[in-house]
Amino acid sequence: MTAVLITGAASGIGLAVAYRILNDGGHAVLLDTRPVDPDMLPPGSETRAILVEGSVTDPAACEYAVRAGIAAFGGLSGVSHNAGIQRYGTAADTDPELWNEVLSVNLTGAFNIARAALPQVLDARGAIVFMGSVQSLASQRNVAAYTASKHGLLGLVRSMAMDFAERGVRVNMVAPGAVQTPMLDWAVSLADAPDQVRDVLNGMHPLGRVARAEEVAAVVSFLLSDDASFITGETVRVDGGLLTQIAGTPKDPK
């Protein structure tokens, strides 16, 4: 039986992963700081979804979510960690409170949920998929804390992949480019010319657009499945070619 603990499940990529897992007949524990709207889940999946409110920054909340999965489904076979926040600033002007906020959610939160769920995932010889970013591999300006957290997540993925491979557990990361989510909407809304920013974001990706959350969820679902049984320690970019393109390449070179 597929039973996955999904963080950040109330919106964006986390919600898309929840929908995909449940729509495919799996079971899910949905953890978020906000209530998950049951109407956003596949019809008829109510008995296969457990909704838990809590933050990945709280180890007790992570442990509670795992216990809820054990009580409802008899255990967990996988984890999809998607909870994350974006903040802006350089190393010169990011104050320690903001730095700690970002690292607490994006990196320590990943550690907390993994540590809580590992006994179950080890028993199931299952899989863990962390949601990274193209900023796990590169950076833009003015995102010191975010990029540091996502680079740190890459290190955690590789370390866990090595530590638990002999026990049959696979650990991977998905690294999206820009994805149409509420977090992206918030970031774009900060700009003086949001429509112009959206045009720039679309143009940054060789495929000419940002990703849909369900496109990222499909890759997560694959990495959690037995179809990915020989993949571990890997970072799968879902970025529309963003990091493949040489910066400044003309769209129609002559």
DSSP helix/strand/coil, 150: helix
Q: What is the mean pLDDT of residues 187-206?
A: 74
pLDDT at 128: 98
Q: Which residues are catalytic?
A: 146
- E strands in 85-220: 127-131, 170-176, 179-180, 211-212
Q: Could you tell me the domains of the chain?
A: 3-238 (3.40.50.720)
Q: Cα separation of 236 and 93, whole Å?
A: 32
pLDDT at 205: 74
Residue 254 has pLDDT above 60, yes or no: no
Q: Are 56 and 105 in contact (CB under 8 A)?
A: yes
pLDDT tens for residues 39-94?
999 999 989 999 999 999 999 999 999 999 999 999 999 999 999 998 999 999 99
pLDDT tens for residues 112-171?
999 999 999 999 999 999 999 988 999 989 999 999 999 999 999 999 999 999 999 999
pLDDT at 150: 97
Q: Cα separation of 6 and 55, whole Å?
A: 12
DSSP helix/strand/coil, 78: strand
Q: What band does 13 get if pLDDT is binned at 50, 70 and 90?
A: very high
Residue 185 has pLDDT above 60, yes or no: yes
pLDDT at 192: 74
Q: Is the pTM of this model over 0.75?
A: yes
| Residues 6 or more apart whose Cβ sits within 8 Å of residue 191 | 197
Helix 96-103, helix 144-164: angle, nearest 10: 30
pLDDT at 213: 94
Q: Cα separation of 12 and 83, whole Å?
A: 10
Q: Are 17 and 37 in contact (CB under 8 A)?
A: no
